[in-house]
Chains A and B, each alone.
Chain A
């Protein structure tokens, strides 16, 4: 199959590689119908997320169709349409059961203290082959795949693999609630979903800080108040706009 392979920092290629096989009875194999490129992938290629093993398939976002399931996967069948959560979680340890799936005790082969297990990441994250490929092996598939209703098409579903949940997580841990004033620094794909999620959580006012014109335009279309940090000091503008300048300055 074709897949995007990390060969070294600054060196990636579309290569012909072996198709994945079931390794554990809890695995599934999916045929990927949509993948995506994330800013996290750029960190690995640029060198700001070190520790990648050459040969690792990149990518941690996918929508696909279940091809094959292991004997212990009891909730999915061949042909099911699914979205893949980017972090890998067993679903049964105390962390997963408390909703801390990114701190799963069992998913990372490097151990429970090694950090989040995820697709297409550095050695310390598994490593697991990623999802910029035609097929992928999904561990703990009963929780590692989420079935999709037919009303959610691939173009929308691919956004639910990583960047929408991450933006929602960001707004959630920032404790956004009704009426809050929120500032989102960085209006790339995840920042756009942080804006959308802040709105879902009831934000009264949202500032969006970036310097890329079309990303600021997108934020403004979502209703955020935009600040171009290449032209203005975002701290000054936010303080001025929220009446805090006099008390802090």
Chain B
């Protein structure tokens, strides 16, 4: 999660992780605060607490509030999901009805409308939280 730049000028931090951008009319505009949530989380968690970092951080991202984390004895874990480790058990939970995730899927779109769907999702348009694409439709 990040904040969209109001004036379209990249922050120095953003310029490092995204050397090239092609934003037009506010579409495909990167957020201007790539480390915002890292700063909030190391401050908000309890002392000696644990943070799990998921999301998308390219190799060039090098900003992390190490000093605050150190001061507060935090444990930081992160990474890309090990999907195959979890999927079978989650399939079972959905099959049994123990959890029903359907409320998080908000759009079903034919593949023929995919570019428009990308733009709605890019804008976080109301009702565009999760978009299923149907190749055969």
A and B: partners? yes
A residues neighboring B (CB under 8 Å): 2, 4, 8-14, 32-37, 39-43, 45-51, 59, 83, 85-87, 89, 91, 96, 99-103, 115-116, 118, 124, 132-134, 143-144, 146, 148-149, 151-152, 154-175, 181, 183, 185-194, 196, 200, 209-210, 212-215, 218, 221, 229, 234-235, 238-239, 242, 244, 248
- Determine whether the beta carbon of A48 is less than 8 Å from that of B90: no
Q: Give B90 Cβ to nearest chain A Cβ, in Å.
A: 5
Contacts of B43 in A (CB 8 A): 235
Given contacts A46-B28, A185-B1, 17 further A-B contacts (CB under 8 A): A14-B115, A32-B135, A35-B132, A37-B131, A46-B21, A96-B84, A101-B82, A152-B95, A156-B94, A156-B100, A170-B81, A173-B79, A174-B50, A175-B50, A188-B1, A189-B104, A234-B44
- Give the residues in chain B near A96, CB-CB below 8 Å: 84
19 pairs from A and B in contact (CB 8 Å cutoff):
A10-B23, A12-B118, A14-B112, A35-B111, A36-B132, A41-B118, A48-B18, A48-B21, A48-B58, A115-B59, A149-B95, A152-B94, A160-B87, A165-B81, A165-B90, A200-B93, A212-B124, A234-B44, A235-B40
Q: How far is the CA of A218 from the CA of B124 in the complex (A)?
A: 14
Q: Is the CB of A191 within 8 A of B83?
A: no
**In the complex, are the beta carbons of A155 and B132 less than 8 A apart?**
yes
B 101-137 contacts with A by CB, 8 A:
101-105, 108, 111-112, 114-115, 117-118, 121-122, 124, 126-127, 129-136
Q: A45 CA to B24 CA in the complex, in Å?
A: 12
A168 to B104, CA, bound (A): 14
- Across the interface, B82 reaches (CB within 8 A) one of A43, A87, A239, namely A87
Complex contacts, A8 vs chain B, CB 8 Å: 22
Contact B58 A101 (CB under 8 A): no
Interface residue? B70 (CB, 8 A): no
The interface of chain B, by Cβ under 8 A from chain A, is 1, 14, 17-24, 27-31, 34, 37, 40-41, 43-47, 50-56, 58-60, 75, 77-88, 90-91, 93-95, 99-105, 108, 111-112, 114-115, 117-118, 121-122, 124, 126-127, 129-136
* CA distance in complex: A244, B48 (Å): 13
| B94 in complex: contacting residue of A124, A160, A210, A221, CB < 8 Å | A160
Contact between A86 and B83, CB atoms less than 8 A apart: yes
| Alpha-carbon distance A114/B92, docked complex (angstroms) | 32
**Residues of A close to B44: CB separation below 8 A:** 183, 234-235, 238-239
Residues of B within 8 A of A45 (CB): 28, 118, 122
Minimum distance in angstroms from A186 CB to a CB of chain B: 3
B63 to chain A, nearest CB (A): 13
Quick check: B105 and A14 within 8 Å, CB to CB? no
Known: A14-B114, A152-B91, A189-B104. A159 touches B130 (CB 8 A): yes
- A146 / chain B contacts, CB cutoff of 8 Å: 84, 87-88, 91
A149 to B134 Cα, complex, angstroms: 20
Measured between C-beta atoms, what is the minimum distance from B106 to chain A in Å? 8
Q: Give the residues in chain B near A244, CB-CB below 8 Å.
A: 46
Q: Which residues on B sit within 8 Å (CB–CB) of A132?
A: 111, 114, 133, 135
Q: How far is the CA of A201 from the CA of B75 in the complex (A)?
A: 19
Given A9-B21, A32-B135, also A185-B78 (CB < 8 A): no
Identify the 7 closest CB pairs spanning chains A and B, nearest first.
Answer: A10-B22, A186-B1, A174-B52, A85-B83, A173-B52, A173-B77, A102-B80
Please tell me if the beta carbons of B111 and A190 are within 8 angstroms of each other in the complex. no
Q: What separation, in Å, do the CA atoms of A122 and B53 have in the docked complex?
A: 21
